Every structure is written in C-alpha cells, then in structure tokens.
Structure 1
C-alpha cells in the first residue's frame, strides 16, 4: 500500500466498544477489520465525562492527550496517573480495568492499539521548530506521522516529499516505513511518531 494519508476532520466516527462515547477511526488493519479482530488501530476520541475504558483483551495500547486539561487515570494495580498534553503517551494493556476522570473539562485523546500476539508498537511525542531526522529502522513494518499542532510539515523519505498540516497524518508501509525520514517546519510544531513492528512467526 506504500503511503496513505488520514485526516482527523473527515475520519469515520463509530461508537465506543462499551457504548459510552464515540471515536474517530483514523486507520485500521486489515481495512475491513472489526473491533474484535484488528491487527492494529489508530483512533482519536473526545472524552466529555468520567467513565471506564472499554476492555480490549490481548491488545497493547498507547494513549496521548491532544487537547484539553487532561485525564486522571486509575488503573487496577497501579498508582493514579495524571495524563496531560505535555505527558509522554501512556502505555498499558487493553484488558486492564481503567477508570478515567476529567481534570478540567473535555479532552481529545489519541489512541494506538496493536494485537499483542502479532504486533508491537512505540508511540512518541515530538516537538520541533526546524529540522529533524529519524533514522532508518529495518524492523519497522508501518510508520505513522501525525501533525498535532503547528506546521505545515515537510516530510521527505525514499525520494518522496509529502506535506502535513495540523490534524493530518501519514502511514508508511513496507519499504517506505524502513527508510530514514527528514521532517522540517518553520514554526514550532508538535507531532506524534509511531513505529509498528510485526512479530515473526
């Protein structure tokens, strides 16, 4: 599939697994997958009230806050955690019971999930104001770049250049995902980068 783009503004909205809200689905694999059989999934949700997280057995999750004051998270077996837009993404197991409380009003979150038996992932927040280079990674199967704020970004990889503005992202598959990536901007920008790796069988 090479290079794919996604946009938060026109993403497909669907109900939460527990029925307590809705999520903008940015990307899923396979493309016709359901919530019970996806390999990986990238989404963003608005959280307007306290509540419990949906349970995703066998799934590893990373959660980040895009907008709003943040969440107070109570996960079974762990100390309470404050997750804000300045925090690194929170990594947890999808089957862990988690209760979330709003710190001060509605938040928008960013969520990456992979099926533990087949995939691993790493989601990182990156703030840049000029040029940044990501080294090549031979193990990466899929790379995601999402522009949260600032921009526009210029992304150069494998002889190709793509631009991104806030709310837009790219998915790089196969050969493109393993190449070095150069990102440049003329304004302070915040982005999220994810590396997804497939577990050899």
Structure 2
C-alpha cells in the first residue's frame, strides 16, 4: 500500500509568484519536473494572490477548492464562482485568471492530456463502519477529519508468502500486512488492482480517478 505524505512534498513556487504547488503524483514520473511534459498530474496548490494561471495547451483541467470559501475563476472572459468541494472542469488552452474575494485558497488540481486520459474528482464522506475502497487508477486524499488506510484482501494471491505480503502492504515486514496506517490531512493513498486500500474514519475524502481514453478504430 502506497501512501504519499503531504508533509514530505516540496512546494514549487509559481512563475508569477501567485502561489505554490505540491505535486502528489504524475505520469510519466520522470517528466514531473517539467510543466506539461507529463500526460497527467494530480497536485495541491496554495493560491495567495489574484492573477493569471499558467496555460497548459492540449490539457484538460479539473479544479476543486478544498480550503477557503470562494475562488472567482475567469475562463476566457467568463466568470465562475467556485465554492468549496465543487469540482470545475475547463480547458488548459483557455486564458484563466483567479480572484480571491474571501482570502487565500487551497485547491486540488487534476490535469490530463486531451485524447489520452480523462480525470475526475469527487468528494465523499467517510464512515467508521463502512470502508471506502480505492481501485487501480484512483487516488484518495484526506481533506478533513481522521482516517486510516488498510490494505484490502489480496485477490490475485497465488500462494501464502507472508514476507511478500508484508512488502506489498508497504510495511517493510515491520507490521502485519493488514495493519491500519493513520492518515494526516492531505495525505494521499494510491489505489491498487490486487490489494485495493480501504479507508475508514470520519471526515471527507477526495477521490481522484484517471481513466485512459480508448484508442479510436
């Protein structure tokens, strides 16, 4: 089980000085340091000053305010008031700027290459009684509250290998494969095909899905 700790992420200042971005994950990973060199990216941005957003030609963006009250987004001249936890999809080719009528904003950004991938972001309320699973191609980010992540059952196991199971669970053999891992605010859990992580707790979880677009005939 892979957990990306928000506290370990290095903030990358925007070129225009309007904020900073912390990248959670991108693909391909080797290209993550170059704007737009990847095919998709999931990041969290702190917006501290009104101004223009960087363009991402050939990309599609999904922005969700996750902290703060209101972001006024202007896209190709049209104004869109974005409230907390409401995802907004727009083209990375569009001219885009933001205003902060209620103060600083923290936003979850999902950017995907047009025609290759499609990104989605939704907010779910967690439960202590019913776990929320994260499947392959998904990322779960704890936005608020307290929660734990536990590796799900290994549906593709071909035999009993405790040592391998511990490695797969991300414990390094120091804990049982099913040991719950506490999540901090904005920590992200990477979904899996064989051991789908399960999230239990109280609060709100952002679930990001990245779907490959089927090739045409």
Matched with 1:57 is 57
CA contact (8 A) 2:147 2:199 kept: no
In 1, distance between residues paired with 2:37 and 2:20?
19
- How far the C-alpha of 1:131 sits from its partner, in A, is 3.6
Residue 98 of structure 1 pairs with residue 96 of structure 2: yes
Residue 190 of structure 1 pairs with residue 188 of structure 2: no
3-state secondary structure, aligned to 1:73:
strand
State which structure, 1 or 2, has the greater radius of gyration over its C-alpha atoms. Answer: 2
- How far the C-alpha of 1:134 sits from its partner, in A, is 5.2
Structure 2 unmatched runs, 5+: 155-168, 170-177
3-state secondary structure, aligned to 1:9:
helix
CA contact (8 A) 2:126 2:132 kept: no
CA deviations 1:90-121 (Å, max 9, x no partner) are: 11111111221102111111111111121112
In 2, distance between residues paired with 1:91 and 1:149?
23
Matched with 2:214 is 200
CA contact (8 A) 1:157 1:182 kept: yes
Residue 169 of structure 1 pairs with residue 185 of structure 2: no
Using structure 2 for the length normalisation, give the TM-score: 0.76
- How far the C-alpha of 1:156 sits from its partner, in A, is 4.5
In 1, distance between residues paired with 2:64 and 2:185?
16
3-state secondary structure, aligned to 1:88:
coil
CA contact (8 A) 1:45 1:109 kept: yes
Structure 1 residues 116 and 152, CA, compared in 2 at 3 Å: closer, same or farther? same
CA deviations 1:173-195 (Å, max 9, x no partner) are: 5x248x5x64321xx31110011
Structure 1 unmatched runs, 5+: none
In 2, distance between residues paired with 1:40 and 1:132?
31
- How far the C-alpha of 1:20 sits from its partner, in A, is 4.1
The 5-angstrom pairing of residues 73-84 of structure 1 reads 73-76=73-76, 78=78, 80-84=79-83
Using structure 1 for the length normalisation, give the TM-score: 0.81
Structure with greater strand share of residues: 1
Structure 1 residues 17 and 118, CA, compared in 2 at 3 Å: closer, same or farther? farther
The 5-angstrom pairing of residues 1-201 of structure 1 reads 3-16=1-14, 20-33=18-31, 34-76=34-76, 78=78, 80-85=79-84, 87-132=85-130, 141-159=136-154, 161=178, 162-163=180-181, 164-173=183-192, 175-176=193-194, 182-185=198-201, 188-201=202-215
User: Pairwise CA RMSD of aligned residues?
Assistant: 2.5
- How far the C-alpha of 1:144 sits from its partner, in A, is 0.3
